[in-house]
Amino acid sequence: MFRRHTKFALNGRRWFQHHAGSRKSSTFFTRGVIVATSVVAGATAIASQPFTGGSIVHNDASPNAPATVSNKLNPVEIIKAPEGGEDNEELRLLVWGSNRSHIISPDALDTVQFRMPAVASFLQSVALRDLVVHATHAACVDGRGDVYQWGDGFFGQSSASENRKPVLTLRGKDIVRVQATESRVFALSSKPTSSGTSWWWGTGWLWGEERGVQGSEVVPNQKLGWNERIISISAGQDHLLALTSSGRTFVHPITKNANTYGQLGFRKFDIPDPSSTSPALRLHVELTPKAVADPYAKSSRYARGSSSSSATTLLPISENLVNVDDTKLTFSDRFFEVPALKGVRVVQVAAGSRTSFVRNDTGRVLGWGANDYGQIGLGGNVPLDTITVPTEVVLWRGMPSGTRTQCIDLNVGGDLAFFTVERIDGTAIRSVEVLSCGNGQYGGLGNALFSNAQSVPVRTKAVSGLIEFSEKTNNLQPIEPHTLSVSPDGHVLLALETQARAGPGGSGRDLLGWGTNYDYQVGNGKRASIAVPTTLEPGEATRKVRADPQGRVWKRGVDVEQVALAGYGNSLVYWRIA
């Protein structure tokens, strides 16, 4: 997240740092293959794509890690700075907020909440490729691309074991990104699968030995182009968005609720026939959004008519899906391209809990799905609570004519959506603003109001329109958000790019938080929700520490940076391989 800066000092508000090696690192995305892994409380699923032709996603389930696998993250993931100077500092994980499911501090079994940022020891001296936390389980990817999992949702509430630290559940697949839902973890890999069939048994490729675990492949519903591969994934509650290298958008229905609010962008698709053992037999199904199945569901009895029996018998899913078990990882084994986006070159996908968004190569945004809080951002003239077709979000309302507006980043979580936009009005000074819409009942919009529905994107105060003098360009330049993380529960963490032009002695990026704060997840030590972005002050827990005592080196010259992550009622700041 932070610039390649060898100093590790903390100064004032700026407590996000960048820790660098002696040489610039190469990217971990080999861009050749994909793997998506899904892990439930005690079960795991994987997806992968071959180098050319089609993309494959695998599902596998593993109740628990084998006894031969260590519960401790392998020391090879440790990143060590060059010898000497102030660079020999330990990489520390900072956490605050709820620890009810033992996610942010698995070894603190009796600690329910952290009111202020504290150091968690279970990921000390470890740099990660990615980290994802859900309500009751979490997963991370270490420097080698192996996946670890933990949390009460993974181990189970009835477990008497006190060792709830991350457990290795997937190795050797070169995972680069993970996403989580309530029952699954999806992982993006750069390695092809060794399986050539749609149904297979055993996980010899996973553990190095057969363990009798069922799995299945998941592939796009059509072959991808030459050298085309999936490069990004984003998960909602019941659906998963995927973006290919050629800008095509695919959606994977995770459960039968995947299209309750039209978030798939289509209704009809096919799944493996659960009554057959042949992968060639498919079951054609239809997931109809609630608003389409019963358009008068929220109307008065008078509007619905004297008899509503016909409406109540309408099902949001196909009748042939009623007896299908969607808790199985093999419920759906394909990605499906969004029909309305064919021909639209997309550069970013983002999924809210019940919404889907894409940003195209011209900086325009389209959204669809649940709109009951105005979270699609279509304005007050669109009162629909369900948007079933990708629809453009207007981000230039109220701007003078001649002002060019384009979205440069998109961040979504829960029922909130944030758009980082760049405005150019013909002068030499660019303006960068953060716009938000959706459920701001707990201050998540950041506009100083607690409004439970905001359909017109509004400016998020304190982080929009900021400028500073640049010696490089000899004029004023905008201070842009570097990263923004939106929690499904309504709190937000934003790191400002305050270090890019900080000069010698620059100490990091400013971290701001706002929104829901009932579990101290904003990190200010108070429990009242905040409607305006507030700078988080570093505590003693963030001060310098000694170098890694083991002295193991994973790879010299690898840059790492601190990244803030907003979870369910909690927050984390971890070290990510840049």
Find which of 141-155, 231-245, 316-330 is predicted with most confidence, using mean pLDDT: 231-245
Label residue 77 by pLDDT band (50, 70, 90): very low
Q: Which residue has the tokens 């405005």?
A: 423
Residues in contact with 112: Cβ distance below 8 Å, sequence separation at least 6, in sequence order? 98, 99, 100
**Lookup: tokens for 352:** 């809210």
Section 93-120 average pLDDT: 92
**pLDDT above 80 for 219:** no
90 vs 184: CA distance, rounded Å: 32
50 vs 37: CA distance, rounded Å: 15
522 vs 97: CA distance, rounded Å: 8
Find which of 89-98, 103-112, 410-419 is predicted with most confidence, using mean pLDDT: 410-419
Question: DSSP secondary-structure letter at 339?
Answer: G
401 vs 353: CA distance, rounded Å: 35
Backbone angles phi, psi at 373, to 5 degrees: -110, 10
Backbone angles phi, psi at 3, to 5 degrees: -65, 160
Which range (101-115, 203-217, 229-243) has the least confidence? 203-217
pTM metric for this prediction? 0.83
SS3 122: helix
CA distance to 399, 409, 481, 486, per residue, from 361 (Å): 22, 11, 20, 23
**Closest among 371, 357, 511 to 419, alpha carbons compared:** 357
160 burial (CB, 10 Å; 0-12 / 13-18 / 19+) is exposed
Can you give the pLDDT at residue 475?
83
578 vs 574: CA distance, rounded Å: 12
Label residue 516 by pLDDT band (50, 70, 90): very high
512 within 8 A of 533, measured Cβ to Cβ:
yes
Can you give the pLDDT at residue 18?
57
Domains of the chain listed by start with CATH number: 32-225+563-578 (no CATH), 236-343 (no CATH), 359-537 (2.130.10.30)
412 vs 389: CA distance, rounded Å: 18
What is the average pLDDT score of the chain?
77
Measured at the alpha carbon of residue 532, what is the angle toward residues 365 and 407, in degrees to the nearest 5? Answer: 15
62 vs 499: CA distance, rounded Å: 43
When computed from its CA atoms, the radius of gyration of the chain, rounded to whole angstroms, is: 24
**Closest among 562, 486, 519, 441 to 19, alpha carbons compared:** 562
97 vs 132: CA distance, rounded Å: 16
Can you give the pLDDT at residue 360?
97
246 vs 224: CA distance, rounded Å: 9
147 within 8 A of 58, measured Cβ to Cβ:
no
Section 124-142 average pLDDT: 92
18 within 8 A of 25, measured Cβ to Cβ:
no
Instruction: Using the Cα atoms of residue 279, residue 231, residue 265 and residue 135 in order, give the sign of their dihedral.
Output: positive
Which range (56-70, 206-220, 487-501, 558-572) has the least confidence? 56-70
CB atoms within 10 A of CB 21: 20
459 vs 449: CA distance, rounded Å: 11
Label residue 79 by pLDDT band (50, 70, 90): very low
Backbone angles phi, psi at 86, to 5 degrees: -95, 10
Which range (268-277, 300-309, 567-576) has the least confidence? 300-309
Label residue 141 by pLDDT band (50, 70, 90): very high
**pLDDT above 60 for 210:** no
139 within 8 A of 148, measured Cβ to Cβ:
yes
Which range (340-344, 443-447, 461-465) has the least confidence? 461-465
Between residues 70 and 288, which one has the greater pLDDT? 288
**Lookup: tokens for 38:** 């899904």
539 vs 530: CA distance, rounded Å: 20
495-510 pLDDT tens trace: 998 876 665 555 678 8
Can you give the pLDDT at residue 29?
31
412-456 pLDDT tens trace: 999 999 999 999 987 767 899 999 999 999 999 999 999 999 999
Q: Which residue has the tokens 């979490």?
A: 138
**Lookup: tokens for 547:** 């170098």
Backbone angles phi, psi at 130, to 5 degrees: -160, 160
Residues in contact with 181: Cβ distance below 8 Å, sequence separation at least 6, in sequence order? 38, 134, 235, 236, 237, 238, 240, 254
Between residues 13 and 94, which one has the greater pLDDT? 94
